[in-house]
Structure 1
Amino acid sequence: MSYEKRSYGETPVYPPEEGVFSSGGGYTDEHDVFGNEENHQIKYKTLSWQLVAVLMIAEIVSNGMLSLPSSGGVVGLVPNVIIIVFLGAFGTFTAYLLVQFKLNHPEVHNMGDAGYILFGVLGREVLSAGTIIFAIFATGGQLLAGQIALGVLSDSRLCLMLYTGIFTIPTLVFSFPRTLDRLSWLSVPSVISIIVAGIIGMVGAGIYPLAGRTTSLFLQPTFVNAFISVTNPVFAYAGHFMFFILISEMRNPKDAMKAAYVLQGFATAYYVVFAIVTHWYLGDGVKSPSFSSLPTVWAKAAYGIAIPNFLIAGSLYSHTAAKLVFVRLFRNSKHLHNHTVVGWGTWTVLILLVNAASFVLAVGVPIFSYLIGIAASLFASWYTYGIAGAFWLYDSYHLRGDGVRAWRRRRTMFVLSVLTFAAGGFICVAGTYVTITLIISAYDSGSVPPPFQC
């Protein structure tokens, strides 16, 4: 196909029969973010859709899963399962919209690039900053998961901050490769580890159920408590902010939806089984993370086997933050594709800064776990759900040149896209309100720990 040549961030002009409705018919090397890599020393576009699926599972199906059973203890087992299934299906729909937008705009490498197309310079800066902030906070969340795992394995014999520091080192090392192809092979044992760890957790709960437990099918919580049970699975699916970066390094981006289907299908099924079994046997009082409610031996086994997943997920997040800045700095320059001192020096500094920031936040901010909730409410609500609706509205309006008439012809998609955008806004506002309410309650109760505690 042919369309007008445009510079970075400029809207393409597609023939009327192609574009947003053609499953990426406009995807060519001419406008691809990495271009034609035939003669380049460093090649980014090497991933198959199968490896992208593994990468997606590795970064999404991680420590967030361990909060799902506790949500059942708030709203009841049945509503919790309904929420998980609904958000999984919703995530599949928004993944489709994200993939189509990427295929229609090959120059998009990250959410910041997409923001530039939709909202101009301000959109680029806000969505870029949000991606970096959320990725750093997500890395810090994985460091805290590693801290908990190491503490359980060693019976908390060392300082908590030291555990976090120990976990930060391999996270930094694994995030260092310049291309996702190297990380994709590390993601294979990561996925295996979280699957096996979850199975061990379920078996342990089944063999040693909590005595005197109560497992409620339905409960009537307050709005604040109820919405926590919604945000937990929202955050458990919060990986869409990486999709553009992952797709950009695929050999054939048109296969991206295959990876998304595998991710959403596996994640939803696994989440449902894990949430039901763990909540059923450990009761409404199951802790978050749920492994901490298991007998000591089983908790150690589950946490120990999950460590590779925590490491690789954290590495993927920190890699994402560094990659966004790196591509922004060196797009269309020799430093992006060649082994130059400037290129590798900059990459090294970025990786060090991202992991250092994640470590300092994880151990130095007493309310860091709550700040993760705020960051997820402000950004993950949009990246995973809301903004996907804006992508469809933009492309359907512009790419065929019909404007509002294109919306009228596809009224069902128009309504779904508007509702998707509105849902993102609701999750953002309500999630931020709930998290701030919890922070105030924590301070009032005196449960906020001091910074850099041991």
Structure 2
Amino acid sequence: MALNMSHNPEKKTENAIYGKHGSDEESQTRRPSLVGDVVVDRATLGKQLELEAESAIKYRTCSWQKTAALLFSEYICLAIMSFPWAYSVLGLVPGLILTVFVALVVLYTSLTIWRFCLRHPEIRDVCDIGQYLFWDSKIAWWATAVMFLLNNTFIQGLHCLVGAEYLNTMTGHATCTIVFSCIIPIISFFFSLPRTFSGLSHMATVSAFFTFISVLLATIFAGIEPYPAGYTEALGKPIVTAFPVSGTTFVSGMSAFLNISYTFIGQITLPSFIAEMKEPEDFWKSVTAVTIAEVIVFSIVGAVIYAYTGNQYMTAPAFGSLGDDVYKKVAFSFMIPTLIFLVAAYPGWVGVMG
């Protein structure tokens, strides 16, 4: 769907459809956008749509709203619950400033990638970009493909592990974690069957909704319970600091910063999303809407949970800081659709195009 393993830009048929890294300037038209004039290769895009008109599976079918839903599901995920920990290390003020700063940098780079993809609609994934940047080198394409596959595989593994930990927590059963780790990908396999992002967008909407409910409940529970998990009179009431506490090491500070950064960074998948949009010129709407939502949700959830948990009792993810087991299980349970969807979605971003 995103990574075409049979990619061969030297084929004449593919060159006729997708162009050879761009098109004749005479076939390009200039269209205004909120980020300046964007050159859109309408000729190549038109050929792609014309070819797909008679295909059983049509890829360029995503609206900007559906693409926004996919982006929401990618970014609004379990990683949100690590922001309270990051703020406890960095301090509330630097943490919030870095959240906004990283969001703006990611938005800028995302729009840069979007502009590039508009100029070159033959680009279908980050591997094509790697090949283009290194003088049409097939080695560069495969090297980028390996990194793309590893990135997505490790992210899938993370969510499988978290899903297994959830099943262990909920069941209290002695079943091996490895067995539980196998259950999550098996379930996710059936959700990964839709071949297009347009088909996945409906599940993405559900995933993002349940994630929002999960973090909202966790935030409310953190505020209404008397004490966080692990509270003792010796440690005292939660301590909240505006700036890093004395003794904070460079390693811990950098870990917190990278934790924030990695939650925002997902540009590696953006060319795949743009390649399946019917009107790729509208992608800026999707990524801008998601960025605004990210800043609001990440900042509020991180700050509020940190304020009620403090430095002494903070865990990552912050579900572990909830003192009431019922609160913890209820809030975490709403995250399960997201875990399943992300394990299902990442194969789509490295799947084979039909």
Instruction: Name the TM tier (shorter chain).
Output: 0.7 to 0.9
Distance 1:13 1:227, change over 3 A: farther
Q: TM-score, normalised by structure 1?
A: 0.67
Instruction: Give, in angstroms, the shift of residue 10 of structure 1.
Output: 3.0
* 1:87-166 correspondence runs (5 A): 87-120=102-135, 121=137, 122-166=139-183
Query: The residue matched to 1:226 in structure 2 has which SS?
Result: helix
Instruction: Give, in angstroms, the shift of residue 118 of structure 1.
Output: 0.9
CA contact (8 A) 2:81 2:319 kept: yes
Instruction: Give, in angstroms, the shift of residue 18 of structure 1.
Output: 4.5
Higher relative contact order (CA 8 A, sep 6+): 2
Where does residue 294 of structure 2 map in the other structure? 267
Identity between Structure 1 and Structure 2 (%): 24
Where does residue 247 of structure 1 map in the other structure? 274
Deviation readout 1:303-359 (Å, 9 max, x if unpaired): 11110011112211122122xxx23xxxxxxxx2xxxxxxxxxxxxxxxxxxxxxxx
Query: Quick check: 1:46 aligned with 2:74?
Result: no
Where does residue 227 of structure 1 map in the other structure? 254
* 1:287-298 correspondence runs (5 A): 287-294=315-322, 295-298=324-327
Where does residue 215 of structure 1 map in the other structure? 240
Aligned partners of 1:265, 1:109: CA distance in 2, in Å?
Answer: 26
Aligned partners of 2:49, 2:275: CA distance in 1, in Å?
Answer: 8
Instruction: Give, in angstroms, the shift of residue 78 of structure 1.
Output: 1.4
Distance 1:107 1:31, change over 3 A: farther
Aligned partners of 1:35, 1:224: CA distance in 2, in Å?
Answer: 53
Which runs of 5 or more residues in structure 1 are unaligned? 328-335, 337-454
Query: The residue matched to 2:241 in structure 1 has which SS?
Result: coil
Aligned partners of 1:33, 1:126: CA distance in 2, in Å?
Answer: 26
Which runs of 5 or more residues in structure 2 are unaligned? 1-14, 232-236
Aligned partners of 1:218, 1:268: CA distance in 2, in Å?
Answer: 20
Instruction: Give, in angstroms, the shift of residue 24 of structure 1.
Output: 3.9
304, 311, 335: which one aligns with 2:340: 311
Aligned partners of 2:259, 2:337: CA distance in 1, in Å?
Answer: 22
Query: Quick check: 1:62 aligned with 2:77?
Result: yes
CA contact (8 A) 1:142 1:314 kept: yes
Deviation readout 1:234-285 (Å, 9 max, x if unpaired): 1111322111111111111111111011111111110001100111111113
User: After the TM superposition, which of the residue ranges 196-205 and 70-79 deviates more from structure 2?
Assistant: 70-79
Deviation readout 1:153-185 (Å, 9 max, x if unpaired): 223543211221111111111112211122111
Aligned partners of 1:252, 1:101: CA distance in 2, in Å?
Answer: 15
Aligned partners of 2:104, 2:189: CA distance in 1, in Å?
Answer: 34
CA contact (8 A) 2:17 2:48 kept: no
Query: Quick check: 1:281 aligned with 2:295?
Result: no
Where does residue 9 of structure 2 map in the other structure? none
Query: The residue matched to 1:136 in structure 2 has which SS?
Result: helix
Query: Quick check: 1:14 aligned with 2:25?
Result: yes
User: After the TM superposition, which of the residue ranges 213-222 and 281-290 deviates more from structure 2?
Assistant: 213-222
CA contact (8 A) 1:110 1:128 kept: no
CA contact (8 A) 1:54 1:188 kept: yes
188, 191, 195: which one aligns with 2:208: 191
Distance 1:213 1:317, change over 3 A: same
Query: The residue matched to 1:36 in structure 2 has which SS?
Result: helix
CA contact (8 A) 2:238 2:310 kept: yes
Deviation readout 1:25-44 (Å, 9 max, x if unpaired): 22344576676311111111
Distance 1:123 1:283, change over 3 A: same
Distance 1:33 1:275, change over 3 A: farther
User: After the TM superposition, which of the residue ranges 74-83 and 206-215 deviates more from structure 2?
Assistant: 206-215
Q: Which amino acid aligns with 1:62?
A: C
Distance 1:165 1:29, change over 3 A: same
Aligned partners of 2:84, 2:43: CA distance in 1, in Å?
Answer: 45
Where does residue 86 of structure 1 map in the other structure? 101
Distance 1:9 1:68, change over 3 A: farther
